[in-house]
Structure 1
Amino acid sequence: MGAVDRQACSTAAELTRSAAHRIVIVGGGVGGLGLATRLSETLGREGLAKIVLVDRWPTHFWKPLLHEAASGQLDPATHQLQYAVQAQRYGFEFEQGELAALDRAQQHITVNALHDADGREILPARQLGFDTLVLAMGSVTQYFGVPGAAEHALPLESVAHAEAFRRKLLDTCLRANHARRARTSQAHTPVSINIVGAGATGVELAAALRDTVRLLKRYSPFALDPVHDFRIRLIESGQRVLPGLSDTISTRAQRMLENLGVEVLIATRVTEVRADAVLTDDGAPLASDIAIWTAGIAGPPVLRTLDGIAVNRNAQVLVNRTLQCTNDANLFGLGDCAACPSDTAGAFLAPRAQVAHQQALFLARALRCRVAGEALPEFAYRDAGTLVGFGREGTIGSLSSSLLTRPVFVDGWLATAVYKLIYRRHVMTLTGFARMALDTASHWLRRRVHPVIRLH
């Protein structure tokens, strides 16, 4: 054995003999769960660190699929990963509950008590000590102070929200179908669905809903005409849909939405949301059976209360290029809840799944350096492009790589294939190739045995 190898083994033995470094990760999304899994395979397996994952839900669901769950074209139960199972497989600990408080001086967090549906306590409030704390808590809906929005417009942050929307959609369709059969005064009034915000989530949801109402026509309880009995609006305050993407993608996206029969309202600001209408600065109220808000995000409100950690006006943790909080080197932030500097002066990285994924990969390496007492590297984001799905209309977007001088526009079968592979790569990252392959096969078989739309 060489001198370098003996020195590395000696260093590892010293770290093992000392108390294991305590890494607590709050949030089990794309970044948080991926980071917990990777750290457990390296530092955890070597006995150099103890990894604890905290999340308020018992299961993980890939958020880019929420629009499919909300439209009823995907059963979220078949796409969820149980944190406790992942923890057992990879050797980290899982604590269910919501982050309530942080004590930076004593280096511990407080997790709220967990209660059942009847209000009985399942788990008491707990304190978890840490040497390194990673905040990966995702985001919440930003209503921008619009009157009635929080009360009457559904958010789309979680499986629970997707299920609430889907249930409301089915109930509204049943009500409308009965009105037509009974020939009531509402018999000729279309079902009005208003989606506020034409970012990727809003655009994909609008397209998915058009597919859903077409599929519902197959079943007698929903004998509604998918063209005349539904009015799906996409409302955007900016000058175009998908404002964060190129003009080429935006123009093509709007044309595809219009081909699907989605009414696109751009440069239209929502001023109020009521139970039965959405009001805009354009004039007349827009009838509304269901309203859903996909117009903006912010960090979870609890981040504003955490022992003086630096946050921006959107309650996102301010981090530097090592992803450490700007006023506490023991705290790290990643994903939607973190404001991470981009290469453009004064700008921050957009809240996207690929950002969180790359940050998790980076921190898996950086925290190994931290445990070893070495200097931390700096995070560098590499944009791989963006793809947006339009159901039966296909997929469009752009792909980027270090081999290309600029992003390349893609559509057709190639864009659709890459779009589907992104999720499979995520599953493989968490579970390995064999489980991913079995999971893919089970979903393929399920879609050929069960209805393509959820009716209950």
Structure 2
Amino acid sequence: MNQRSRIVIVGGGIGGLPLATRLGNTLGRSGLAHITLIDKSATHIWKPMLHTIAAGTRDVQQQQVIYLAHARDHGFDYQPGEMEGLDRDARVIRLAELRSPSGEVVIGPRTVEYDVLILALGSQANDFGTPGVLEHCHFIDSQAQAEVFNEALRTRIFQSVVTNSPLRVSIVGAGATGVELAAELSHLLEVAASYGDPGIHSRLNLTLYESAPRVLAAFPPAVSESSEAQLRHIGFTVRTGTRVTAAEPDGLRLGDGSMQQADLTVWAAGVKAPDFLGKLDGIAANRSNQISVRPTLQALDDDTIFALGDCSTLTLTGNERPLAPTAQVATQQAQFLAKHLPGWLAGGSLPDFAFHDFGALVSLSDYNAFGTLGQFGFFRGGFIKGRFAQLSHAMLYRQHQQALHGFGKATLLWTAERINGLVRPKIRLN
């Protein structure tokens, strides 16, 4: 590589933004490389928090990171844009035209040159081609989608209050997003009951659909069983082993042919990377559009292209299945590249990535939390629940903030959040 390599990171999520921050602080500020982060949004939200933004139980303005300001403070550049293609011979990526919310073209299609390309585009729910899903279901894969759902939710809540009618919500997919969103909606309406309608929570009719035999199928059985029991205790209907065959304007069509009415439907099933990744110039990908990478996180056919997190697939030696698309994997892969890329750019070699399983956690709002501890750290493999599990889950976000801002600023942000919580409404009311 030349003295000032052009490193382009596409995707400012759980993996991409911390990686840009670390590389900007080291290579960018020292002039050894030029770091560019590209994301179609202007702001970053920790993805495991999106369900709280969707429910309106967290202040989105307080939790988001503005890319432009963060880039200025950490030695890298930010460009708004959405990748749509790649020319490996010319080493350029193609960005789609950028439009305003009103549909006006702000910036036309353009290209960005790179010496090293790092794809960190995350994932989205997979509709599996199910008829009507794109037209009639909400998704919670981005800040924009979470805010759209919240707007629709508040409208439906208002209608329920005024007409004294049920609020029927269906969530398809009982992974972490679906399960945590369900609990957060219950918490939202419990708090909302104190603002003038004590019976609003009793009118919530929520059903969770899962095609697998149990909720949280990727989690250990103890977490699944405890979480399902908690959801049923809240009053929700949980239908496992149930296939949704179509989404319609007023509900869902199930595999047995029955029609289930719903006022709001959220699709949180499946995982796939952005569609264009499955069609890139000479880059191998699986059926879910995830880039196949070597243990060094390099693409199979190109040493200058890396992929990490949910948009990549890697089966480690000795394992039968690829690494799961989780925040834990994306975080560790970003840390791996931040540590080893500088040496590789200077002519050294890359070691193989090693994943350390620290366990799995799911938080059901203020009701409960469940998890298992992984094979590293204290109490290996143990099952945890209650306040300790809730605290452990909350600490994941605080660690993410610390990776972005450092300990001092992260502490100030936490303090400001606590103070605002004392003086502002607990839920979004406007």
Relative to the length of structure 1, the TM-score reads 0.91
Q: Matches of 2:338 and 2:177 in 1, distance apart? A: 29
Q: Matches of 1:398 and 1:44 in 2, distance apart? A: 39
Structure 2 partner of 1:451: 425
The residue identity in structure 2 corresponding to 1:53 is: L
Larger radius of gyration between Structure 1 and Structure 2: 1
Q: Matches of 1:174 and 1:107 in 2, distance apart? A: 52
Structure 1 partner of 2:191: 215
Compute the displacement of 1:223 (Å).
5.3
Q: How do 1:6-405 residues align onto structure 2 when only pairs under 5 Å count?
A: 19-180=3-164, 187=165, 190-220=166-196, 222=197, 224-227=199-202, 229-403=203-377
Alpha carbons 2:10, 2:121 under 8 Å: kept? yes
Per-residue Cα deviation, 1:95-130 (whole angstroms, up to 9, x for no partner)? 111112211011111222323234434334332211
The residue identity in structure 1 corresponding to 2:201 is: P
Residue of 398, 401, 422 corresponding to 1:427? 401
Q: Matches of 2:233 and 2:199 in 1, distance apart? A: 20
| Partner SS, residue 324 of structure 2 | coil
Alpha carbons 2:360, 2:371 under 8 Å: kept? yes
Compute the displacement of 1:406 (Å).
4.2
Cα 1:343–1:200, aligned 2, differ >3 Å: closer, same or farther?
farther
The residue identity in structure 1 corresponding to 2:110 is: R
| Partner SS, residue 376 of structure 1 | coil
Compute the displacement of 1:319 (Å).
0.5
Q: Matches of 2:290 and 2:31 in 1, distance apart? A: 33
Compute the displacement of 1:176 (Å).
2.0
Compute the displacement of 1:415 (Å).
1.1
Per-residue Cα deviation, 1:25-77 (whole angstroms, up to 9, x for no partner)? 00000101111111112222332211111100111110100111111101111
Alpha carbons 1:141, 1:155 under 8 Å: kept? yes
- Residues 290-299 or 365-374, more deviating: 365-374
Q: Matches of 1:343 and 1:382 in 2, distance apart? A: 14
Q: Matches of 1:358 and 1:41 in 2, distance apart? A: 18
Compute the displacement of 1:343 (Å).
4.5
Alpha carbons 1:210, 1:262 under 8 Å: kept? no
Instruction: Compute the RMSD of aligned alpha carbons.
Output: 1.6
The residue identity in structure 1 corresponding to 2:186 is: R
Alpha carbons 1:103, 1:307 under 8 Å: kept? yes
Q: Matches of 2:389 and 2:112 in 1, distance apart? A: 44
Q: Structure 1: give runs of 5+ residues left out of the alignment.
A: 1-14, 181-186
Cα 1:210–1:129, aligned 2, differ >3 Å: closer, same or farther?
same
Compute the displacement of 1:337 (Å).
0.5
Cα 1:102–1:251, aligned 2, differ >3 Å: closer, same or farther?
same
Per-residue Cα deviation, 1:246-272 (whole angstroms, up to 9, x for no partner)? 111111111111111111111111111
Q: Matches of 2:103 and 2:153 in 1, distance apart? A: 29
Cα 1:168–1:92, aligned 2, differ >3 Å: closer, same or farther?
same
Q: Matches of 1:26 and 1:134 in 2, distance apart? A: 6
Compute the displacement of 1:304 (Å).
2.3
Q: Matches of 2:253 and 2:280 in 1, distance apart? A: 36
Q: Matches of 2:122 and 2:376 in 1, distance apart? A: 28
Q: Structure 2: give runs of 5+ residues left out of the alignment.
A: none
Compute the displacement of 1:215 (Å).
1.4
Alpha carbons 2:278, 2:287 under 8 Å: kept? no
Compute the displacement of 1:274 (Å).
0.9
Alpha carbons 2:192, 2:200 under 8 Å: kept? no
Compute the displacement of 1:230 (Å).
1.4
Q: Matches of 1:270 and 1:135 in 2, distance apart? A: 32
Alpha carbons 1:48, 1:371 under 8 Å: kept? no
Alpha carbons 1:241, 1:250 under 8 Å: kept? yes
Q: Matches of 2:168 and 2:370 in 1, distance apart? A: 27
Q: Matches of 1:363 and 1:422 in 2, distance apart? A: 20
The residue identity in structure 2 corresponding to 1:154 is: H
The residue identity in structure 2 corresponding to 1:157 is: D
Q: Matches of 2:133 and 2:262 in 1, distance apart? A: 13
Alpha carbons 1:207, 1:262 under 8 Å: kept? no
Compute the displacement of 1:161 (Å).
1.1
The residue identity in structure 1 corresponding to 2:5 is: H
Q: Matches of 1:54 and 1:89 in 2, distance apart? A: 16
Cα 1:224–1:275, aligned 2, differ >3 Å: closer, same or farther?
farther
The residue identity in structure 2 corresponding to 1:380 is: A
Alpha carbons 1:277, 1:286 under 8 Å: kept? yes
Compute the displacement of 1:405 (Å).
8.0
Compute the displacement of 1:342 (Å).
3.4
The residue identity in structure 2 corresponding to 1:434 is: G
Q: Matches of 1:196 and 1:119 in 2, distance apart? A: 30
The residue identity in structure 1 corresponding to 2:277 is: L
The residue identity in structure 1 corresponding to 2:300 is: T
Q: Matches of 2:223 and 2:106 in 1, distance apart? A: 49
| Partner SS, residue 218 of structure 1 | helix
Alpha carbons 1:210, 1:261 under 8 Å: kept? no
Structure 2 partner of 1:442: 416
